[in-house]
Chain A
């Protein structure tokens, strides 16, 4: 409320300032300012190019309104006594008169009723002559006056219609802007939510990253150990495989030679025959011809000692066939 009132006051002050400035310019052009004020205004005009143009425009307006008889009696007197005292200005007014008369005639506007008899410029002053002429002139004036009143009534009605239409357009525009404002507010809320989600996700990712950074063994090393099969009788025994139980995770590899079973199974047991695990196992291929059955183990879980790993293959009819036995030591 206060802001509105303040706005109105400031607008009023602004309008008053403009009126004061226009009045000052008019007085300057009509020679009504004291020398000091004239000099001060001119100094202002030297700096403010826009105001200089404004004064020039005001001069042209004065000249035009004088020529077209639109000036009040008092203004006309002041204009004639000051502005027209300069030969240069008289020439300017004469040129403007020629120019504007030509233009007015070219648009077919030869006569227009002036409310003030005295506003006719000095160049257009002429005696009316006989009373008959006066009567005719009065009649014409009367007719023109009536015509102008009717015309102004129609003009006013038209103007009222135009104002209503402009107001309607403004109302529609306001409604549109309000809707747009609502849409934008809703979109803004969505964005805020999205940003909050993203920020939360970002925090999570940061925390995960931090956790991963704190775990130096985040990607544990898996050691692959190729087990040598137990020799058949008469063969020289290959060196026995040894696994350190400190290595952690390990993958035991058992080479497959021309064995093409659908599935594989391993049984791990101690040399004393105690079964530790029995499990189906996968098959991995290295290169074109070599393939291995694999058994992932955690060496740390083994107690030190000797172990036997028996590899079975499952035939298509469901039978299990022993393929090989592997001996290894955990130390």
Chain B
């Protein structure tokens, strides 16, 4: 957890039984419960991401751990997604207490870090590698989807959806998922290169 949340929760891991209880709370049907779990996790990760959390996925893991623990202790939770949402907000606020998780405004940032050209090159290389790793149809789809800009963009996407025989919303959702996958891949590769983003290079005073 990178020390971003309360110490008391670090050592505790949910049991299999606890996790089963958590899933059963989402839906009695295990297959549906699995789907709902994935959807809830994705939504909470994005909420914390939009709120500016540094490690939203880890915060959501911590959220689920806390809720599972409550269930194991015998607490009855009626609306699990809403309950998790409340806990996630709390976990996020607690994470902000940690100095490493403080937000830094751009103006302030430009005073402490200067973008280095080679980071951009490495990022581009990682991006190209990740693009190559994508299945051909996904690669073509995302490149085509973002090809046009400005006023032409919408017409282009509508035409593309028509060509693929799917609604525009479905195309948008598909492009979002591929973009997200691509972004995760680039971040992972940057980490492998031991290259943290340039604004983290100098410690905050």
Which residues of A pack against B, CB within 8 Å? 28-29, 31, 38-39, 42-43, 45-46, 49-50, 52-53, 55-57, 59-60, 64, 68, 70, 80-92, 94-95, 98-100, 102-104, 106-107, 109, 112, 122-123
Contacts and interface: CB of A to CB of B under 8 A. Distances in A.
Interface of B: 39-40, 43, 46-47, 49-54, 56, 81-82, 85, 89, 103-107, 109-110, 115, 120, 123-124, 127-128, 143, 146-147, 149-150, 169, 172-173, 176, 179, 182-183, 186-187, 190, 197, 199-200
Contact of B150 (A42, A70, A83, A98): A70
A57 B106 contact: no
B81 A46 contact: yes
A60 B52 CA distance: 15
B52 A85 contact: yes
B179 A98 contact: no
Contact of A86 (B52, B107, B176): B52
Given A88-B49, A94-B120, A98-B124, 20 more contacts: A39-B85, A46-B81, A53-B169, A53-B173, A56-B46, A59-B50, A80-B106, A81-B106, A85-B52, A85-B106, A86-B52, A88-B53, A89-B49, A90-B109, A90-B199, A95-B123, A95-B187, A99-B127, A102-B128, A123-B115
B127 A86 contact: no
A103 B179 CA distance: 14
Contacts of B123: 94-95, 98
Nearest to B115: A123
Contacts of B197: 87, 90-91, 94
A98 B123 CA distance: 8
A279 B11 CA distance: 124
A56 B54 CA distance: 18
Contact of A45 (B47, B89, B172, B187): B47
The 7 A-B pairs at the shortest CB distance, nearest first, are namely: A86-B52, A85-B103, A80-B106, A98-B124, A84-B106, A85-B105, A42-B47
B82 A95 contact: no
Contacts of B143: 103, 106
Contacts of B169: 50, 53
B105 A81 contact: yes
A241 B79 CA distance: 103
Contact of B127 (A49, A88, A98, A107): A98
A64 B52 contact: no
Contacts of A91: 187, 190, 197
Contacts of B40: 46
Contacts, number: 113
B89 A87 contact: no
A57 B176 contact: yes
A52 B124 contact: no
B91 to A, nearest CB: 14
Contacts of A103: 143, 146-147
A270 B45 CA distance: 120
Contacts of A95: 123, 127, 182-183, 186-187
Nearest to A89: B52
A67 to B, nearest CB: 10
B43 A99 contact: no
A46 B81 CA distance: 7
Contact of B172 (A57, A82, A90): A57
28 contacts: A31-B52, A42-B85, A45-B47, A49-B39, A52-B43, A53-B169, A56-B46, A68-B150, A70-B150, A80-B105, A80-B107, A81-B106, A84-B106, A85-B52, A85-B106, A87-B54, A87-B104, A87-B200, A88-B52, A88-B54, A91-B190, A95-B182, A98-B124, A99-B127, A100-B149, A102-B128, A103-B143, A122-B110
B103 A86 contact: yes
Contacts of B186: 95
Given A38-B51, A85-B106, A123-B115, A43 B82 contact: yes
Given A29-B50, A43-B85, A68-B149, A99 B182 contact: yes
